[in-house]
Structure 1
Amino acid sequence: MLTLIQGADLYAPTAQGKMDVLLAGSKVIDIQPEIKLDGNTLVKVIDAREHILAPGFVDSLVHITGGGGEAGFASRTPEMELTDATLNGITTVVGALGTDSSSRTLSNLIAKAKGLKEQGLNVFCHTGSYHLPAKTLTGSITDDLMYIEEFIGVGEVAISDHRSSQPTALQLAQLAAQAKVAGMLSGKKGTVSIHVGPQETYLSLLHEVSKCSDINLSAFYPTHMNRNKGLLDAGIDFCRGGGHIDFTASTTEYDLAHGEYAAAQALAYCLAQGVDPNRLTISSDGHASLPIFDDTLNLVGLEVGKEASLHQAFVQAVQEFDVAIEHALMAITTNPSQVLGLKKGTIKVGSDADLVLLDKQTLAPIHVWSNGLHMVENSNAIVKGLFE
């Protein structure tokens, strides 16, 4: 079966104008202003004249197995379901552990990733967690990245946070070196995902690593950079030094009221400051534990991250903060793909058929394809997880 998407406003993610896009199997095989097929060809035609066709969203940080709750065992968050991603236009997720690497394990992470892949989603993972020395599945970072298909990097390693293991510059430099070499040997990027907490040390440790070693800032991928204006400004300096930064879409009303920027607002702020739009990304932090701490670091509340926040941040960026559609799309498609070394996030002849068809007015996902598999049709999930 071929699928012909007709007359969409194509963003690949840059604007390409009105185009027809032809899918066959798991690939995009043709893009033309008008594609005509033989009348005898078996083809499913999608009228997309009132829609925007974009790459499937790439969510670079999702706790697919749930997170360990900071309020005890009963507060451990649930696992992600397939439609948590697909109904929100997400076709690629990157899973990671966080604070809890005891009751949440790497073996469970990989098993969950493989299960989601069997259902049609693109899934990658990081080895390690918040703490150093890094926990691994095989006994070494090198072997994890070389021999386990889903592992593409390390993280999310915590800095500037009272929940971190308080790593030194030497420890981080050694970790990044291991990840880089493992990536070279396995054909992967070997990026180190960095959880940045609210402490005013910000990204100083990463700058120290770059000064005392051969490790560049680009080896690190700091997330949660929209916690406050001080951290956001530090992120702008980090980008100008050659790095990339990530904003977290999942948040709480408490945090927003106490200085956190919404991800869409942070994206707009950085663009207004002249930051290269290729260096900015947004992730959902879906199914993460979102603890709320007061000024003395006492836990006063706990919420759960949602994958839906990624799409919501995209819409908010475009409709409330006047971010260009292509810049908002880059932050959730090509940019995270390039940082992590994934061949995702673009629409071109020969690319994987990871696509989302958006209503032109509301930007709501109407159709979603992952590797050519039609996952969402007319805003309804037609492929669901086994237990959904």
Structure 2
Amino acid sequence: MLFLFKHADVYSPESGGRCDLLVGGGKILRMEPDIRISRKYCDVIDARNLRAVPGFIDGHVHIMGGGGEGGFATRTPDLPLTDAIQGGVTTVVGCLGTDGYTRNMAGLLAKAKGLDEEGLSTFVYSGSYGLPLRTLMPSLEEDLLFIDKVIGAGEVALSDHRSSQPSFEAFAQVVAMARRGGMLSGKAGIVNVHLGDGPRGLDFLRRVLAETELSAHQMLPTHINRNPRLFEEGIAYAKGGGFVDFTTSTLASYLDDGEIPCAKALRRMLEAGVDPGQITFTSDGQGSLPDWDQNGRLQDISVGRVQSLYQAVRQAVQEEGVPFDTALRVITSNPARILKLKTKGRLAPGMDADIVLLDPSDLTVRTVMAKGRLLMKSGKLLAKGLFQ
């Protein structure tokens, strides 16, 4: 079916003015000020007084659930399709976390394929918190070469009591394997790095840059807004050319302990002179949000939400005064470029038809199209998971 979005205020993510978008075969076919085509050949969507933006990319989601830090009952549930739709998320990158045993790569890939069948675009990282990596094939390079959905490794945990406490050499070797596999497969080959509260912070990443020939573009450290010390490290790292990722899912106790809200973190990084193209937001959706005491004992546990991703972007615009097109980049064009998702993150002819319509009065999500299929229209869900 052909779809024609009429009179949209386009942000691709830069402002492009009033435009029509013709969609067919899962792609944006044309994007022009006034496209005329008979209504009997297409479904016309009136986008007058609405903003058309690229579908959101969430690059760090525990799509098959995570957690387990407090025992079997604390394993978090998998991602429901409707959570992504209502949050405007059309592309997700799945990962494993602390538990790479009862949750494994075969299950992660199966869940990714299931979400793909239900309407989303999906990719995965190979491995989990621990090193050596537990991959599907004998090596990370082979996962990158022969499994289409694998785009990198992770999330590898550093500076955290839950990590495998790898040596620097072991970590650098994973980055090197990701580099080789990425080159050979034409993929990002990036290592998603979980950073905890430990004092070592970004030390291993800085050492990779200082002691090897590897590039900062092979590593994406996440949870950079976790505490003020790590955040300040992140500013210096990003100004030196590294990527930094902020986590949008949070708890009141995290904020009380010094975590910097993503909206405020984005404003502060921009004020510090960080290139806005170096910054991404991810939700850590369906991952556990554990509350530890000073002795590392679990006091409580909650779950991250994919819908927090765009909520943080809205807050950056509405509460922190970040320009809309700048804030939009951290969940559209930036992750698409960093993760080498070449048909994602922008509105232009030839790109995937991942389109979100926003109400400009409050920036709420009204309509969601993914891969040319309408999943929500005017606030009404048109799709849901089979077992929802």
TM-score w.r.t. length of structure 2: 0.98
Q: Which residue of 1 aligns with 2:380?
A: 380
The residue that corresponds to 1:251 in the other structure is: 250
1-structure distance, mates of 2:98, 2:337:
26
Match in the other structure for 1:240:
239
**Deviation at 1:379?**
1.2
| Corresponding residue SS for 1:236 | helix
Between the aligned partners of 2:324 and 2:15, the Cα distance in structure 1 is: 9
CA distance in 1, matches of 2:300, 2:39: 61
TM-score by length of 1: 0.98
Give the C-alpha shift of residue 248 in structure 1. Answer: 0.3
1:298 to partner: Cα distance: 2.1
Matched, 1:102 2:101: yes
Which residue does 1:46 correspond to in 2?
A: 45
Between the aligned partners of 2:213 and 2:249, the Cα distance in structure 1 is 34
Shift of 1:200: 2.1
Tell me if structure 1 keeps the 8 A contact 2:59–2:92. yes
Q: Tell me whether 1:66 sits opposite 2:53 in the alignment.
A: no
Q: Which residue is equivalent to 1:209?
A: 208
Alpha-carbon deviation of 1:193?
A: 0.3
Q: RMSD of the alignment, in Å?
A: 1.0
> How far off is 1:2 after superposition?
1.7
Note if contact 1:96-1:155 (Cα within 8 Å) is conserved in structure 2.
yes
Q: Deviations over 1:149-199 (max 9, x none)?
A: 111100000111111111222111111111111111111110000001011
Aligned residue for 2:367, secondary structure, equals strand
Name whichever of 167-176 and 329-338 sits farther off: 167-176
Unaligned runs of 5+ in 1: none
Rounded Cα–Cα distance in structure 2 between residues aligned with 1:147 and 1:273: 41
Aligned equivalent of 1:13:
13
**Matched residue type, 1:139:** P
Counterpart Cα distance in 1 of 2:319 and 2:296: 33
Distance 2:380 2:261 in 1: 28
Report the CA distance between 1:296 and its aligned residue.
2.7
Q: Give 1:363's aligned residue.
A: 363
How many corresponding residue pairs?
A: 387
User: 3-state SS of the aligned residue for 1:183?
Assistant: helix
- What residue is the counterpart of 2:130 in the other structure? 131
Amino acid at match of 2:360: K
Aligned to 2:115: 116
Q: Which amino acid aligns with 2:99?
A: D
Q: Deviations over 1:69-105 (max 9, x none)?
A: 2111001000001111111100000000000001111
Q: Which runs of 5+ in 2 are unaligned?
A: none
User: 1:195 maps to what in 2?
Assistant: 194
Write the distance in 1 (CA, Å) between the matches of 2:8 and 2:296: 50
- Who is 1:143 aligned against? 142
Say whether residues 1:353 and 2:359 are aligned partners.
Answer: no
Partners of 1:122 and 1:174 lie apart in 2 by 30
Aligned to 1:338: 337
Shift of 1:52: 0.7
Match of 1:28 in 2: 28
Conservation of the 8 A alpha-carbon contact between 1:217 and 1:238: no
Equivalent pair of 2:281/2:331 in contact (CA under 8 Å): yes
In 2, Cα distance between the equivalents of 1:33 and 1:236?
40
Match of 1:180 in 2: 179
Q: How much has 1:5 moved relative to structure 2?
A: 0.9
Contact 2:222 2:245 in 1 (8 A): yes
**Cα separation, 2, equivalents of 1:139 and 1:96:** 18
Q: Which amino acid aligns with 1:355?
A: I
State the AA in 2 paired with 1:244: F
| 1:3 is the counterpart of 2:8 | no
Answer yes or no: is the 8 Å Cα contact 1:68–1:103 preserved in 2. no
Counterpart code for 1:368: V
Determine the C-alpha separation between the residues in 2 that align with 1:295 and 1:337: 38
Alpha-carbon shift at residue 41 of structure 1 (Å): 4.5
CA distance in 2, matches of 1:148, 1:349: 28
Whole-Å separation in 2 of the counterparts to 1:34 and 1:96: 42
SS across alignment from 2:122: strand
Separation in 2, partners of 1:57, 1:386: 23
Is residue 145–residue 151 contact of structure 1 (8 Å, CA) maintained in 2? yes
Q: Output the CA distance in 1 between the equivalents of 2:33 and 2:230.
A: 45
Q: Note the alpha carbon deviations across 1:361-384, whole angstroms, 9 max, x for none.
A: 121111111110111111122111
Q: Percent identity?
A: 47
